Amino acid sequence: MTFRIKVWDLPLRIFHWLLVAAVSAAFVTGELGGALQDWHGRIGVAVLGLLVFRLAWGLVGSHHARFSTFFPTPGRVRAYIKGEWQGHGHNPLGALSVLALLGVLATLVSTGLFANDDIAFEGPMVGLISKDLSDQVSYWHSLIFNVLAGLVVLHVAAITFYLKVKKTNLVLPMLTGEKRLPHPVPEHAKGAGLIGFILVAAMSGVVVWIVASGTLLHILQPAPVVPPAPTAAQNW
Amino acid sequence: MKSKLLIALLLILASSAVIAGKAEDQQIKSRQSAYGFAGWNLGKIKDQVVDHPDTYNKDQVIAAANAIAAVANSGLGALFGPGTDEGTGWAKTRLKPEFFQQPEEAKKLATDFNREANELAKVAAGGDAGAIKTQFAKLADTCKACHKSFKIKE
Ligand code: HEM
């Protein structure tokens, strides 16, 4: 007899696959650049929204989505290495990988906001720093992307290892939300529900809008940015 | 007598090294200025045809496109003399040494840019903002292609 348990709630799964799609698109548009650089910026800012969503959902989502459930404390990591860990969501090593992915992605997005491509694109927060620093940050942005790429490879390799060697399919639960177990499990905390989800999603949307529209820039630096075209008084 | 000659020789050598360095630095400085100026003009075009089409001003876009074409037609190749992958113009050069190992590729990327820049000037004169936007994208892609191959990121 097998028992089905819910591990990943629907918002978390949607988040996960949107993130995969958006980061892939950001990679392609970032590499191609040129005329696609605008799209790179838009997609990158969308990733910022996804990250904000995940942060909030890690507080108010269902049991296995919460950081408090899977945070890899030294005790949990030790137990896992000794083979004594008995959870159903992220195991402590997987949790480390998840937190590293989210952290590096946050750094990547943050640097992107201050980057420029030396052609005709600037991140929405460029106005806060000098061109020299922005050039430097653009360089870090491309370096940090390599770190992300390394983590993604590790992430996929670990999932393949679980599939082939440990005969555990981790991809299916991320699609269906369910895991099958030979024994029943007590009910866990439910997520914030539809209304909560809508609120958290709306909040993430507002953050995206504040950053992308330049509102945040204007709050932090009220001085006007130099106009790019000749003014009426100086149109020679 | 001998030592005087030696000193004179050393002085000539030293000053020629400085002058040689100067010639290269001057090329670097000029091309940095040229690309920086092209970038300023490209930014204005983008602002008026892509970001804020409501501000489209035909004359200003024509002026900007002509300026980019003028840069392209000015013979920029002369600013990429041998040895100019090292030196300092307004800042330390970002030209990759590969530029001199792949002269065919360098020429192709440079002429792609020239062609699209001149085409943009033509399209700008036509005054069709949509067509300008398309041609702007083509030109921006040629900038990116060359930067990807020959401009150091750091
Ligand atoms: C998921 C998030 C992101 C990913 C995966 C990503 C990835 C990349 C990649 C792979 C490149 C090319 C680097 C290279 O040519 O070596 C790049 C360049 C760039 N990205 Fe991002 N990026 C992200 C977010 C952002 C954001 C939010 C912005 C700004 C709004 C941004 C702005 C830029 C700029 C301006 C460049 C050009 C840098 C240059 O040419 O030196 N990126 N990014």
Segment B46-103, tens digit of pLDDT: 999 999 999 999 999 999 999 999 999 999 999 999 999 999 999 999 999 999 999 9
Contact: B144, A228; criterion CB under 8 Å: no
pLDDT of residue A50: 98
What are residue A104's phi and psi, to 5 degrees?
Answer: -65, -40
C-alpha distances out from residue A7 to A68, A69, A187, A191, B116, Å = 15, 12, 11, 11, 54
> Per-residue confidence of chain A (236 residues) as pLDDT tens digits?
788 888 999 999 999 999 999 999 999 999 999 989 999 999 999 999 999 999 999 999 999 999 999 999 999 999 999 988 888 889 998 999 999 999 999 999 999 999 999 999 999 999 999 999 999 999 999 999 999 999 999 999 999 999 999 999 999 999 999 988 888 877 777 888 899 999 999 999 999 999 998 888 888 887 665 555 666 777 77
Instruction: Give the bridge partners for B2, in sequence order.
Output: none
pLDDT of residue B17: 53
Which residues, including other chains, have CB under 8 Å from residue A220's CB and lie 6 or more apart?
A: A128
pLDDT of residue A2: 81
Cα separation, A123 vs A33, whole angstroms: 13
| Amino acid found at B151 | K
Ligand 1 site, residue A45, Cβ cutoff 6 A: yes
Give the tokens for residue A52: 């904000």
What class, spelled out in words, does domain B2-150 have in CATH?
Answer: mainly alpha
pLDDT of residue A193: 86
Helix axes B129-150, B2-46, angle to 10 degrees: 150
Q: For atom 30 of ligand 1, which residue has the closest CA?
A: A41
pLDDT of residue A226: 55
Q: pTM for the whole thing?
A: 0.91
**Domains of chain A (ranges, CATH numbers):** 3-235 (1.20.950.20)
Ligand 1 site, residue A26, Cβ cutoff 6 A: yes
Cα separation, A65 vs A89, whole angstroms: 8
Collect all residues from B whose CB is shorter than 8 A from any CB in A: 39-40, 42-48, 50, 55, 57, 60, 136-138, 140-145, 147-148, 151, 153-154
CA distance to partner chain A, nearest, from residue B111 (Å): 17
Top-confidence residue, B32 or A192:
B32
Cβ-Cβ pairs closer than 8 A, A with B, add up to 53
pLDDT of residue A229: 61
Contact: A139, B153; criterion CB under 8 Å: yes
CA distance to partner chain B, nearest, from residue A201 (Å): 27
Contact A104, A51 (CB under 8 A): no
pLDDT of residue B1: 60
Ligand 1 site, residue A123, Cβ cutoff 6 A: yes
- With 0-12 CB in 10 A as exposed, 13-18 as middle and 19+ as buried, what is A170? middle
Contact: A119, B143; criterion CB under 8 Å: yes
Which residues, including other chains, have CB under 8 Å from residue A35's CB and lie 6 or more apart?
A: B136, B137, B138, B140, B141
Cα separation, B58 vs A135, whole angstroms: 32
pLDDT of residue A6: 87
DSSP three-state, residue A122: strand
- Nearest atom of ligand 1 to the alpha carbon of A113: 29
